[in-house]
């Protein structure tokens, strides 16, 4: 919200509540989607490493305009599509060693809470019914668009209603946004019979419903991709704060795009890449995870075959250097022990310094690698005592609870 890096202070001691925007499962997640999920996983892992108690909620968008359109195009039902895609998504998360959220809730499981929120917003005069649909009037609240820094003076005098769940491109819809789709306005879409009529919740109400039914009225950190700064997260903020009367989130984090050979991924360019494509070419989950997390999450990352190969080689060389230290040991050797231990003890120091600065994983990895190189060089000349090898190994295992790439991911 401040457009600056802030010192992190949870609302309640060492307890941290996080909401991360989950996938829309009308189609399978590509490499860019996983980049977002992995920086969020890195965040959770680092907070746990620092001794915080993390509770995380994540939505699964299994009902929306795009899923309905995809089912119509394929002449099948939505559930058959979303079930298959969700299976693939879970497989991908498991491959990357992703820590699963405590609350992983599908939009179809939030109907009752969505209706409850809409009813209260209607009572407050912020939402209203129009031809069976329900809309949110942003002009009824203060500071709408505050995350994006929207210039509200641009708002048109004539009332506009935007009925789609999502709109393509980085554009703002200057008007009222939909909360509930009435079934009679589109008889092909799935529906639920509720106190506000037969219909389905829009994308704009699903996240607030899932958040309030899982981790409460407020979160410490709200995460997502950079595209969410347009409309989506400000819609979530508006609904949450209008419903609860409380400030929603203290911190916002947004991951930048992954480019393919310098261009955005799109079907029209036929350049969409999935993890399984890289796996089929001989890569492994650790290689892919490292490539997607090494560059800072707030900077665009350009995938090329050469860049990916270079990234995998960097990880391989790190492992090789660390293994070299472990192989050069001598149980009774004590010379230079204190000096070596001091160098080894700097591993968590440089790692923490980097990760404390807005999750600068690449900087932290490079700093640790420099120490490992020095230790490797010394060990080739004068083998280390077993206690020092154990000391170094312990540090590497601890930081790999965050990186999850130095030692093989479980199941890899």
pLDDT value of position 335 = 61
For 34-62, write each residue's pLDDT tens digit: 999 999 999 999 999 999 999 999 999 99
Longest pairwise C-alpha distance within the chain: 84
Question: What are the respective helix, strand and coil percentages of the chain, to the nearest 5?
Answer: 50, 15, 35
pLDDT tens-digit series, residues 186-196: 777 889 999 99
Instruction: Provide the pLDDT for residue 334.
Output: 55
Contact 95, 411 (CB under 8 A): yes
pLDDT computed for residue 337 by the predictor: 67
**Per-residue confidence (pLDDT) for residue 411, from 0 to 100:** 39
- Pairing mode, strands 161-162 and 176-182: parallel
Residue % of the chain over a pLDDT of 70 = 96
Which has the closest alpha carbon to 104: 20, 41, 200? 20
Q: Which domains does the chain have, with CATH numbers?
A: 15-260 (3.40.50.620), 304-403 (no CATH)
Q: How confident is the model at residue 16 (pLDDT cuts 50, 70, 90)?
A: very high
- Determine the number of helices (DSSP H) and then strands (DSSP E) in the chain: 12, 14
Quote the pLDDT of residue 186.
Answer: 75
Task: Look up the pTM and report it.
Answer: 0.95
pLDDT per residue as tens digits for the range 338-385:
778 899 999 999 999 999 999 999 999 999 999 999 999 998 888 888
Q: What's the whole-number mean pLDDT along residues 68-74?
A: 90
Q: What is the pLDDT of residues 124-168, one digit of tens each?
A: 999 999 999 999 999 999 999 999 999 999 899 999 999 999 888
Give the strand pairing for 301-303 and 219-225.
unpaired
Gap between the Cα atoms of 9 and 58, Å rounded: 22
End-to-end CA distance of the chain: 39
């Amino acid at each position: 919200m401040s457009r600056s890096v802030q010192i992190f202070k949870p609302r309640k001691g060492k307890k941290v509540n996080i909401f991360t925007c989950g996938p829309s499962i009308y189609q399978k997640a590509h490499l860019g989607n996983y980049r977002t999920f992995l920086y969020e996983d890195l965040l959770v892992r680092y907070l746990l490493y620092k001794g915080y108690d993390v509770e995380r909620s994540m939505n699964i968008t299994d009902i929306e305009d795009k899923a309905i359109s995809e089912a119509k195009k394929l002449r099948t039902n939505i559930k058959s599509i979303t079930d298959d895609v969700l299976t693939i998504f879970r497989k991908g998360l498991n491959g990357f060693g992703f820590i699963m959220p405590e609350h992983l809730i599908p939009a179809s499981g939030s109907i009752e809470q969505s209706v409850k929120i809409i009813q209260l917003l209607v009572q407050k005069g912020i939402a209203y019914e129009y031809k069976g649909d329900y809309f949110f009037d942003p002009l009824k609240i203060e500071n709408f668009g505050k995350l994006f820094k929207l210039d509200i003076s641009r708002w048109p005098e004539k009332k506009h209603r935007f009925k789609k769940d999502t709109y393509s491109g980085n554009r703002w819809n200057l008007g009222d946004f939909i909360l509930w789709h009435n079934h009679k306005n589109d008889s092909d879409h799935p529906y639920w019979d509720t106190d506000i009529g037969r219909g389905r919740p829009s994308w704009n109400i699903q996240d607030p419903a899932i958040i309030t039914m899982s981790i409460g009225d407020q979160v410490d950190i709200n995460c997502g991709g950079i595209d969410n700064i347009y409309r989506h997260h400000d819609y979530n903020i508006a609904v949450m704060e209008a419903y609860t009367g409380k400030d929603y989130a203290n911190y916002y984090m947004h991951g930048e795009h992954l480019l393919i050979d310098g261009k955005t991924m799109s079907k029209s360019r036929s350049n969409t890449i999935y993890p399984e494509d890289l796996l089929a070419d001989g890569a492994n989950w650790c290689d892919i995870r490292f490539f997607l997390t090494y560059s800072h999450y707030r900077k665009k990352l350009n995938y090329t075959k050469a860049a990916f190969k270079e990234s995998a080689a960097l990880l391989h060389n790190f492992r090789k250097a660390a293994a070299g230290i472990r192989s050069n040991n001598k149980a009774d050797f004590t010379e230079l022990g204190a000096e070596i231990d001091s160098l080894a003890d700097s591993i968590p120091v440089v790692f923490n310094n980097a990760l404390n600065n807005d999750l600068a994983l690449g900087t932290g990895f490079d700093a640790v690698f420099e120490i490992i190189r020095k230790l490797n060089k010394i060990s080739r000349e004068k083998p280390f005592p077993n206690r020092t090898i154990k000391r170094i190994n312990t540090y590497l295992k601890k930081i790999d609870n965050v990186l999850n790439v130095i030692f093989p991911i479980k199941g890899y």
